[in-house]
Each structure stands twice: as C-alpha cells, then as structure tokens.
Structure 1
Amino acid sequence: MADNNNSGSNFIVGGYEFLNEEDAQKASMDESKIKLLEARVNASRPNDIKAVYEKAIENKIFKSPIGWEYLMNLRAKLLESGFTQEDLIPIPLNVTFTRHSAFENMAVKQRIKPQKEDTGADFGKIFSIILNIVLVILVIVMFVIASKSDSDNIINYKRNITNRYSAWDEELKEREKAVREAEKKLGIEAPQRYDGDIGED
C-alpha cells in the first residue's frame, strides 16, 4: 500500500503528495498503524470492524488522508454488511481546506469587517429598565399593603392608634350611658363626676 518516494522536495506517501516532511511523516505513521490493525483484526466479522472503526475515531488515531481513506473503507464494509449511516459515527476531519492566502489577496476594504451592533448591550439595557420598573411596582405595592394593613407599622401607626382610641371612647360613652339608665331605673343617685368636681372646692 505504501509508495514512499521522498525525492527532492516531493513528499509522497501512499499515493498522496504532501507539502512538507512533517505531514508526510504523519501519513507514514498512519500506514504503519493500518498494517498493524489489518494484522490483528478479523475482517470477516462486522462487529470487530465496527469496534476498530469507532475506537480509531474516538482515539483520533489517524491524522492524514491515508488514515481517513482507511476509515472510509471500513465504513463502506460496515454499510455493505447491513449497518446504516445512522449506526456509524462520522469521520471527523480536523483540518480546514480553505487556503489562507485568499484572505491576503483581498483588498483592504474587503478585509476590514464592519462592526456589528452589539445586540447584547441593547438586551442588557432593556433588561435593566424592565427590572427597575418591576422593582418600583413592587415597592408601591408594598407601601399600599402596609398602609391598608390592620397591624401597626411606620406608615399607618397614627391612623390605627387614632381609630382604636375613637373606638374605645365610643365604647366607654355607651357603657356610661347604659350605667346611668340602670341607675335611674333602680333609683340610685349617681355620684358626681370627677371632671365636674375639679375646681369647685
């Protein structure tokens, strides 16, 4: 499977020509791993092939097109043996195929990207305003509840005490009136009132 020919600046491994020696070495390592796997795996059992396929992807064993091609061959065998596309995990390619020189060839105006309006800041402002409005409403509701409450608090203590005093005064006047009427019926002479005696002596 290997076709190693590193003459001059050409780095050819397994029918692929690489741009640098490091990539060619990765491809050569992938070839060695493939030979080792083929020697150890029983290619007639689909479950063994699936296990090798998944482990190779999970452990990121292959780092070159040679390894990816081997994984594609395993995937094809698995599909032929009855597995579906959904049963098999995809082969990740951790490289970009877009050349960076295209960016360098752009005009300066094309390279400068207009700044997008920061929608996050707008959301933050709107959220802050809504939160402040909700807090103001809550404070107003708390004051209304506190002012209408029967229990004494800093807002309604004067009104509550005045109302209680008025109620007691009314109750005392009614009792005094009832006592005087009872005294009249019984013929008891009412004692002089204390507030009338003051200053007469």
Structure 2
Amino acid sequence: MVTNLKEIKKLSPEERIKKLKKIEKENKKEINEAEKLIKDSVKEINVKEEIRDLPIPQIKAVDIESLFAPEEKEVFAAKRYENIRQRNVEEETAEIPLEETVEQEKPKITEEELEAQRQYQILELRREPTENVVQELENIYQQVRETGGVTGEQMRMAYAANVVARERQHDIERGTYERIDEQVSNQLDIARQIFKSIKDKYKK
C-alpha cells in the first residue's frame, strides 16, 4: 500500500482521485467479504457447539416381524419351519453310524430266502467234522462277547451249527454215528452250551 501511495502521488490530481476511488472501492469489497466470512465462520462455530451439546438419541430395537404383512409372516414362518425340520433330518441322518446306514440300505430278505439260507448252512456244516462245527459256534460266541450283541446272520449260523450238533448227538444215542467216543460227546455238549449262551444274548 505504501508503494502504491508513492506512485499515486506522482499522478495528476485527476488521475490521483480516480485511482484512490478505485482503491477505496476495492477495499470496501474486500472488507465486506471479510465481514461476511467472519459471520459465516461464527455461524459454523455455533452450529458445531449446538450439535456437540445435543444428547445422543437411543436407537430403538426394530421388531423384524413388524415389517411384514400378516400374509408375509405366514410365508416366513412356514419357510423357517421347513428349514428347521430339514436341518433336524440332516442332523439325525448324520448321527446314524455307517454300519446302521448300510444295514438300512440292504434289500429286505423274505422268509423263503431265509429258510433256504438256513438249509444251505446246515447242509454245508453236515459235511464238516464235529470239531469244525463246535469251532464255528465258538467263533460266533467270541464275536458276540466282543460286540456285546448278536446279529441276525450270527444267530442263523449258530442255529445251523446247533441243528447239526443235535443230529450227531441223536446219532450217537442211536449208535449210528460213525465215530463214537467220549471226546465227540464232550464236544457236542460244549456246542449245546455255547448255542444256549448265544441264544440267550440274542433274546436280550
């Protein structure tokens, strides 16, 4: 501004007045803008202070079901029930041991097929010596002790072995068995006792 005044003094009076009026006008404009800027700044400060002093409103919990119409609620409830039921079925299926799953998937055997299977097992055991018949029962009994239960297949095999053992016991009593000695008789007694133990466990 000092430099400007020195330059202005060098001007002619007319030019000097013109220049000073221009400077005055520019200064007024800057002053007005500065005053406006000050007022705006004060307003911003006041607004910030008011916002800072306002209490934080509590957010109300929203009930999701209140957003749905009655018909939509019914559809939603039905779908949720179906999902829960499906999940329960999947969990129950997942809890079934593999052995039970395989057992359930086996085709059902008719009584005629079971009887044919029993007769075949009896026929096969009739070809075996008494020691093998007793050994078959002992093997089944050992399996039952390890697992704590008797399967249908084990019971059918034990039944076939018992039938053969009883037939041979009758043959001994009639004197028609090819080998009559105390050892065979003892083996047949053991076979009868083992079969009884297996049968008792099968009933439980």
TM bracket (short chain): under 0.3
Q: TM-score, normalized by length of structure 2?
A: 0.24
Larger helix proportion of the pair? 2
